[in-house]
Structure 1
Amino acid sequence: MTHTKRLMIAASSILIASFAAQSQATEFGSPTTAAGVFDFGTGFMPPVTPIGNFSLRIAPYSADSTRNNSGKSTLPKFSLDVLSISLAFIKRTNYKILGGDFGYSAVLPYLDMNLDLTTPPGGKIHGSQQTLGDLQVAPIIIQWDIAPNFGINAQLQIQAPTGDFDKNAPINAGMNHWTYSPALGVTYITSNKIELSSSFQLDFNTKNKDTDYTSGIEYRHEFGIGKIMDAWTVGLGGYYYKQLTDDKGPNVPADGNRAQTIAVGPAIAYFKPGLPALWFHVYKEYHSRNRTQGTSIALRLAQSF
């Protein structure tokens, strides 16, 4: 079996892994949907199977600073640790839309979060929560297999406010607003077995009615560049995240509270017929603005049935 076919069998955990790894909405200084989900195999859905594809993603995220609009640390002591464990399902069908295969997916994350910070002149805040996060569904995914080494898919993701939220709590598993995210995934494999994968996503957020706050439109470009060596793909991955429009609501700063960051690090993937597929990466964030800056680690496993 070619490496491209292995990608098609197992790539669903890239398409539908956790979208809540970084705890809270943009109004609290973190992306609404999690970054670091899409790397190798982004442009391929798994093939049509009787049941579908299931995946598990375990993703710890740790940050020791939160940065202002100039990129400077704003608190003398800050610590955020989030463990996200997500179960996901994706189904590809033979039904055709716009010349591509129709599919759909769902993701449910469980979050274990701990926050500690010190505010001048010495106040201390601690928060923790262990609960389910917001449910995310993609009611429509369209997969175009342009060539054996070239795949493209488009999807609409919807994140529902099903997770716990308390406007007076220091940390929350839920966003307390809806998010609509169109996304495009592309994978191309060269003749010398170099894989180039990218995803492009926009997040459109509704108002948080408890805080009267609306987070701005968010853009994310995630990527994976690697060398295919038999069952393994080894290389670099990462993401560029930038908020495109200002937040709206009470106490929004003059800069609009626009967040951004860049992350990069080693990434590997393993695809072998008959065995679960595996992805692993370690990404370090740099040049963060109006949000946390930390390190994201993720392990993903997927299997079609």
Structure 2
Amino acid sequence: MSKNNVCLLGVTTLINLLGIMPVWATEGGGSTYAHGTENAFVGFMPSPGFYGLVYASHDHLSKLRDDKGDEIELPFDVKANVIAPRAVWVTDTKLLNGQLAWHAVLPLVSLDSHIAGYSEKHQGLGDLVIGSGLGYHPSEKVHYAFGLDITAPTGTYKQDNLVNLGRNYWNIQPAFALSYIQASGLNADLKLMYGINFKNSDTNYRSGQELHMDYALGYALNNGWTAGIGGYLYQQTTDDKQDSTVRSNSKGRAFAVGPSISYHNNSGFLVSVKWQQDYGVRNRAEGNAVKIKLAIPF
């Protein structure tokens, strides 16, 4: 599942005017995917039917890091609240021996930014995500899925804004998700994604390609509850381009970790909550986040 992250394009303009001249990883230092969104049961595709999920998050970004990981001396505080409903249809169709599913996500976003004495608030729809996947269950404990997501630039965007609800470019993202699930004992989940960004037509800027992974590792207590840790790993793999000119040293990276807890039952209900702190940040904003995932079977 993808949903848009904060777009800080206007911050780049502001910082340049102040003479600091950072090099961002991806345009504005954000991504179409909000890192660390996924958690428990990410690789488990349920039986055919319709399912409703809700993802909620509160991200607090309080520092900017350059390409060496040093903090950029600039008053910076951005809060992003997101509620992202997701509709999933697991079909009866088998393709390549996998169960075919379709899904769509349309996030509702609220941004509150205070940067170098300037403030902005924005609320509205973010970037629409549609996708499909194939689910497999090779054993009672091992489950995995392959997917492809497409993010459309439906969120509000203005080039001069400090922050934006949308990224203003298309993104294609193949994904692989894997879950090791048992009623008691060690459980593990990961979702590996590779984002391919297209050009922002308003700025003629093309963000580099991105490799990222959400993960969770926990211990199941034999009563539906699992407690452990979760977070994400992120590495930009290619440099950005502005007007076909490569921007060297523009690759970003980061990882996050924090406590995680989840509960599920046999009817398909699932809720997970985690808090994660960013570390090792390069060319991006740094902060922490609370992530909630709720799955409700129809």
| TM-score, normalised by the number of residues in structure 1 | 0.87
Taking the aligned partners of 1:264 and 1:208, their CA distance within structure 2 comes to 31
Distance 1:303 1:89, change over 3 A: same
Among 139, 143, 150, the alignment partner of 1:147 is 139
Contact map agreement 1:21 1:61 (CA 8 A) in 2: no
The equivalent of 1:159 in structure 2 is 151
The farther-off stretch of 18-27 and 163-172 is: 18-27
Query: CA shift at 1:257, angstroms?
Result: 1.6
Taking the aligned partners of 1:113 and 1:299, their CA distance within structure 2 comes to 18
2:89 aligned partner, one-letter code = K
Q: Over aligned residues, Cα RMSD in angstroms?
A: 1.9
Query: CA shift at 1:189, angstroms?
Result: 3.4
The equivalent of 1:4 in structure 2 is none
Query: CA shift at 1:255, angstroms?
Result: 3.4
Contact map agreement 1:222 1:239 (CA 8 A) in 2: yes
What are the superposed Cα offsets for residues 71-96 of structure 1, whole Å, 9 maximum, x if unpaired? 11113311010001111111111201
1:247 aligned partner, one-letter code = D
SS in 1 for 2:71: coil
The equivalent of 2:96 in structure 1 is 98
The equivalent of 1:184 in structure 2 is 176
**Aligned positions of 1:14-25 closer than 5 A:** 16=1, 19-23=3-7
1:284 aligned partner, one-letter code = Q
SS in 2 for 1:146: coil
Query: CA shift at 1:56, angstroms?
Result: 1.5
Query: CA shift at 1:193, angstroms?
Result: 2.3
Among 100, 108, 111, the alignment partner of 1:110 is 108
Query: CA shift at 1:47, angstroms?
Result: 1.6
The equivalent of 1:292 in structure 2 is 285
Taking the aligned partners of 2:219 and 2:7, their CA distance within structure 1 comes to 33
Taking the aligned partners of 1:252 and 1:28, their CA distance within structure 2 comes to 17
Taking the aligned partners of 1:88 and 1:175, their CA distance within structure 2 comes to 19
Distance 1:58 1:29, change over 3 A: same
Contact map agreement 2:240 2:247 (CA 8 A) in 1: no
- Structure 1 residue runs without a partner (length 5+): 1-15, 119-123
Taking the aligned partners of 2:103 and 2:259, their CA distance within structure 1 comes to 27
Query: CA shift at 1:114, angstroms?
Result: 1.3
Aligned residues: 281
- Structure 2 residue runs without a partner (length 5+): 10-25
The equivalent of 1:281 in structure 2 is 274
Identity %, equivalent residues: 28
Distance 1:193 1:182, change over 3 A: same
What are the superposed Cα offsets for residues 173-231 of structure 1, whole Å, 9 maximum, x if unpaired? 01111000000001123696211111110000000000000000001011111111121
The equivalent of 1:83 in structure 2 is 81
The equivalent of 1:37 in structure 2 is 37
Distance 1:21 1:232, change over 3 A: farther
Contact map agreement 1:282 1:296 (CA 8 A) in 2: yes
SS in 1 for 2:208: coil
**Aligned positions of 1:236-275 closer than 5 A:** 236-249=229-242, 255-274=248-267
2:79 aligned partner, one-letter code = D
Query: CA shift at 1:276, angstroms?
Result: 3.5
2:229 aligned partner, one-letter code = L
Contact map agreement 2:67 2:249 (CA 8 A) in 1: no
Distance 1:116 1:252, change over 3 A: farther
Distance 1:179 1:161, change over 3 A: same
The farther-off stretch of 282-291 and 125-134 is: 125-134
2:241 aligned partner, one-letter code = K
**Aligned positions of 1:208-223 closer than 5 A:** 208-223=200-215
SS in 1 for 2:27: helix
Query: CA shift at 1:39, angstroms?
Result: 2.1
Query: CA shift at 1:42, angstroms?
Result: 1.5
1:85 aligned partner, one-letter code = I
Contact map agreement 2:32 2:151 (CA 8 A) in 1: no
Contact map agreement 2:53 2:87 (CA 8 A) in 1: yes
The equivalent of 1:65 in structure 2 is 63
| TM-score, normalised by the number of residues in structure 2 | 0.89
SS in 2 for 1:28: helix
Contact map agreement 1:22 1:61 (CA 8 A) in 2: no
The equivalent of 2:48 in structure 1 is 48
